[in-house]
């Protein structure tokens, strides 16, 4: 009589399908997973601790490096929290550009998700197409901020600088071509029998379980819960835009795939509406205590130079109090909770990372599945380890 | 105002003795409660007032600023009503433990592990209380205010010399 025993298999942290340095310790009965123990923290940089020792302005570059596939949205979440504490109003043009960049970021993040998710499951062609489009978004990033990923573009009170004149045409051309590109991806996947076999019925999590696990973002909407902070608790002027929020029904990987694809089409609509609203005007609030002076003043007048020096060296004091601001990141709800003691550095800054909370559900979603299905579940959760480990 | 907030009205009816403070700042309502009643309040908010999503659990270290050193923060969100509520409760350094909210929400599991890992607050009746971001053999709790920024046994960074 042959006996079988369970096997422990180590997956990661260096594994192409774990999207970074995620380590999973699997307990296997044959090829069926009976237990998953995630091991995270390989990328821990102590962002929350670091931010307690930096001025509010100096914290901003740390936020790019959380979810490095959605840097502008991280900047937006942080800046909105600081602006809430300072209680300052942002000019219309700055808000509109913020929304354009936030939605381009959503497209970028979803493109990378689609590319890697499909590649993990074995559909390589989509990867090449999606990265072709992502490159245009990276070029747009570079055009306005000078960097492809670590944008550091928003400022408390507005933007670091206005966008160059060619920005609008570049985005319009990109958005005009995007629906046809999305059709192309869908043509490769949506009715593809292999894709359906791998995704339909995979990684099911019910709406109740999803809420209990604190899942947010497309993963929650895929389970049929209609929650989107852009509509429910609007920020940065999202209340002025019309867009649909897709929700899934079957709570599986395929529905989450459909939700994200519809979200990409909706992001294009939001960007089009925002481009139509874009009017000339200032991009920084008239708030000299907080905002840097224009560069020509810094270079040409002693007052401007002193003003710049004062903010750069001392920072700006922020009223005492505590606020939380959540934004609908491509991965879920990204929140910043800042406790201020009235000085120019945060007393405590907490980052509520969507990927961290979503990853917790992995055991629920992949228990009883095969190893190959676990790869699909990691892909559908769309986690970024830079944000999980902070 | 904070007094008219739907949750504050109900909490004052039901848990009048355990509410220490109600604050509203920038439109956000924070209720500070006594530590013993934490689970009862959280369960009541979840079941009776539809605060069904636990967004976040974290802590603040008020070393030398407040009598009780730590403050636990629970951030709740109601999907049907689309509003937020923040519940806070103080934890002293001498009795550095608190009931685990995993009995109310499964999502508290990792969030509390992170608080344990970085602040050293232990959670009673937690199913799997281990370090999560730091290595298992790490000594000290990095987010405490008396933990040096550069890490233990290292000279503080003095800036570039050139």
A84, A225, A341 member nearest B79 (Cβ)? A225
A217 lies in some domain: yes
| A322–B133 CB contact, under 8 Å | no
| B73–A360 CB contact, under 8 Å | no
| A357–B60 CB contact, under 8 Å | no
% of chain A at pLDDT higher than 90: 25
Confirm whether the ipTM is greater than 0.90. no
A2 lies in some domain: no
Cβ atoms of B106 and B52 within 8 Å: the answer is: no
Find the closest chain A residue to B61 by CA distance: A348
Is the pLDDT at A199 greater than 60? The verdict is: yes
How far is A113 from A141, CA to CA, in rounded Å? 19
**What fold characterizes domain B2-97?**
Beta Polymerase; domain 2 (3.30.460)
Shortest alpha-carbon distance between residue B30 and chain A (Å): 9
Ranges in chain B, pLDDT < 50? none
pLDDT tens sequence across A51-110: 988 889 889 899 988 888 888 889 999 999 999 999 898 998 999 999 999 999 999 999
Per-residue pLDDT band for A372 (boundaries 50, 70, 90) equals confident
| pLDDT, average across residues A6-21 | 79
Is the pLDDT at A240 greater than 60? The verdict is: yes
Using the 8-state DSSP alphabet, how is residue A215 labeled? Answer: -
| B107–A48 CB contact, under 8 Å | no
Using a CB-CB distance cutoff of 8 angstroms, which residues of chain A are in contact with residue B64? none
| A337–B75 CB contact, under 8 Å | yes
Beta-carbon-side half-sphere exposure of residue A178 (alpha carbons within 13 Å): 30
Q: Cβ–Cβ contacts within 10 Å for residue B156, how many?
A: 8
Cβ atoms of B31 and B21 within 8 Å: the answer is: yes
Distances (CA, A) of B5 to A53, A213, A234, A324, B23: 35, 26, 20, 17, 11
A31 lies in some domain: yes
Q: What residues make up the domain containing A186?
A: 7-389
pLDDT at A42: 87
B26, B133, B143 member nearest A321 (Cβ)? B26
Which CATH number do you get for residue A12?
A: 1.10.645.10
Cβ atoms of A297 and A307 within 8 Å: the answer is: yes
| B55–A87 CB contact, under 8 Å | no
How far is A315 from A290, CA to CA, in rounded Å? 8
- Extents of the domains making up chain B: 2-97
pLDDT at A79: 92
For B1, the token pair is 């105002």
Full DSSP string of A167-209:
HHHHHHHHHHHHHHHHHHHHHHHTT-HHHHHHHTTSS---HHH
Consecutive H or E run containing B157:
none
Number of domains in chain A: 1
Which of B43, B66, B77, B142 to mutate: most A Cβ within 10 Å? Answer: B77
Q: Which residues of A touch B (CB under 8 A)?
A: 40-41, 44, 46, 48-50, 52-53, 84-85, 87, 209, 211-214, 216, 225, 227, 232-233, 321-324, 326, 333, 335, 337, 339, 341, 347-348, 350, 352, 356-357, 360, 389-390
pLDDT tens sequence across A329-355: 999 999 999 999 888 889 999 999 999
């Amino acid at each position: 009589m042959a006996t079988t025993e369970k096997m422990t298999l180590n997956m990661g942290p260096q594994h192409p399908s774990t999207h970074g340095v995620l380590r999973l310790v699997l307990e296997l009965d044959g090829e069926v997973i009976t237990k998953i123990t995630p091991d995270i923290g390989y990328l821990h940089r102590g962002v929350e601790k670091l931010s307690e020792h930096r001025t509010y302005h100096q914290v901003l570059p740390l936020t790019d490096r959380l979810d490095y596939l959605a840097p502008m949205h991280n900047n937006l979440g942080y800046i909105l929290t600081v602006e809430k504490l300072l209680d300052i109003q942002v000019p219309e043009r700055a808000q509109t550009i913020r929304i354009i960049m936030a939605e381009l970021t959503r497209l970028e993040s979803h493109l990378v998700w689609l590319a890697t998710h499909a590649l993990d499951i074995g559909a390589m062609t989509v990867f090449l197409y999606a990265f072709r489009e992502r490159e245009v978004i990276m070029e747009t990033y570079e055009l306005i901020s000078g960097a492809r990923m670590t944008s550091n573009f928003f400022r408390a009170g507005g933007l670091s600088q206005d966008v160059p004149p060619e920005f609008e045409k570049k985005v319009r051309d990109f958005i005009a071509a995007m629906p046809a590109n999305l059709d192309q991806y869908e043509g490769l996947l949506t009715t593809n029998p292999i894709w359906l076999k791998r995704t339909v019925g995979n990684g099911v999590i019910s709406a109740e379980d999803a809420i209990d696990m604190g899942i947010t973002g497309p993963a929650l909407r895929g389970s049929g819960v209609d929650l989107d902070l852009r509509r429910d608790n609007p920020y940065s002027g999202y209340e002025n835009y019309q867009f649909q929020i897709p929700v899934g029904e079957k709570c599986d990987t395929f529905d989450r795939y459909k939700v994200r694809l519809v979200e990409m089409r909706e992001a294009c609509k939001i960007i089009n509406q925002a481009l139509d609203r874009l009017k000339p005007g200032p991009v920084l609030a008239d708030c000299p205590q907080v905002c840097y002076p224009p560069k020509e003043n810094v270079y040409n007048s002693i007052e401007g130079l002193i003003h710049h020096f004062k903010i750069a060296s001392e920072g700006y004091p922020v009223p005492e109090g505590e606020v939380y601001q959540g934004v609908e990141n491509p991965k879920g709800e990204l929140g910043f909770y800042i406790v201020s003691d009235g000085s120019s550095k945060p007393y405590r800054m907490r980052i509520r990372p969507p990927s961290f909370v979503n990853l917790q559900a992995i055991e629920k979603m992949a228990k009883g599945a095969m190893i190959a299905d676990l790869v699909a579940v990691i892909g559908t959760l769309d986690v970024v380890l830079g944000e999980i480990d902070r | 105002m904070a007094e008219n907030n739907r949750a504050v009205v109900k909490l004052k009816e039901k848990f009048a003795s355990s509410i220490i403070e109600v604050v509203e700042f920038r439109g956000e309502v924070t209720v500070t409660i006594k530590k013993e009643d934490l689970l009862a309040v959280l369960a009541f908010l979840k079941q009776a007032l539809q605060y069904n999503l636990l967004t976040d659990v974290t802590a603040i270290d008020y070393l030398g600023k407040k009598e009780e050193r730590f403050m636990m923060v629970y951030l709740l969100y109601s999907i049907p009503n689309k509003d937020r509520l923040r519940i806070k409760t103080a934890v002293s350094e001498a009795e550095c433990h608190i009931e685990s909210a995993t009995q109310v929400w499964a999502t508290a599991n990792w969030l509390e592990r992170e608080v344990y890992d970085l602040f050293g607050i232990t959670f009673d009746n937690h199913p799997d209380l281990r370090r999560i971001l730091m290595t298992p053999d790490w000594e000290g709790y990095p987010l405490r205010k008396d933990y040096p920024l550069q890490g233990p046994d290292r000279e503080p960074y003095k800036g570039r010399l050139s």
